[in-house]
């Protein structure tokens, strides 16, 4: 699982960036790495995934520092829950445990997210589009969190919300 996570999340990003850098330098282009809120915190029983996503932030910063002088901007996006086939599959244990629908499972995982919903893939694509656009021409080495606010929640205080 460790090797698979590193290969899928970190190695592919590195190899793709390395392959594109000559053209990106010539065009003064931009890279957006898709990380995750798992880049910022750890979930249970996903050590390889979490570590590989944390490493993407390091890769983002290293590439931004090394290739910024060549006109290449590099940023990362950290989505939270996004309604995708992969996330739908991750909802299956909740659906079975609580005998609930897919929509109810998403509601459950987003119950403490300020926007109370997962993102749609198009919303994350829009964030990526912004980061490669001229509107973000001064942004490099940044980590943009697109999680509906889940990463701003102070988890130890959640019990007080229900008082």
Q: CA angle, 131 as apex, 48 and 16 as ends, to 5°?
A: 50
The first and second tokens of residue 138, run together, are 């001064």
Q: What is the 3-state secondary structure (H, E, C) of the chain?
A: CHHHHHHHHHHHHHHHHHHHHHHHHHHCCEEEEECCHHHCCCCCCCHHHHHHHHHHHHHHHHHHHHHHHHCCEEEEEEECCEECHHHHHHCHHHHHHHCCCHHHHHHHHCCCCCCCCCEEHHHHHHHHHHHHCHHHCCCCCCEEEECCCHHHCCHHHHHHHCC
The catalytic residues are 49
The first and second tokens of residue 54, run together, are 């944390």
């Amino acid at each position: 699982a460790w090797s698979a996570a590193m290969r899928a999340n970190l190695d592919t990003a590195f190899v793709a960036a390395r392959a594109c850098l000559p053209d990106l330098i010539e065009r003064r282009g931009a890279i957006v790495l898709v990380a995750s809120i798992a880049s910022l915190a750890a979930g249970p029983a996903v050590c390889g995934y979490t570590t590989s996503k944390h490493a993407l932030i390091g890769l983002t910063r290293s590439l931004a520092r090394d290739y910024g002088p060549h006109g290449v901007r590099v940023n990362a996006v950290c989505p939270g829950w996004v309604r995708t086939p992969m996330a739908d599959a991750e909802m299956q244990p909740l659906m079975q445990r609580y005998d609930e629908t897919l929509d109810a499972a998403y509601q459950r995982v987003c119950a403490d997210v300020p926007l109370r919903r997962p993102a749609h893939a198009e919303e994350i694509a829009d964030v990526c589009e912004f980061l490669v656009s001229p509107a973000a021409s001064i942004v490099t080495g940044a980590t943009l969190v697109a999680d509906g606010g889940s990463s701003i929640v102070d988890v130890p205080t959640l019990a007080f919300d229900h008082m």
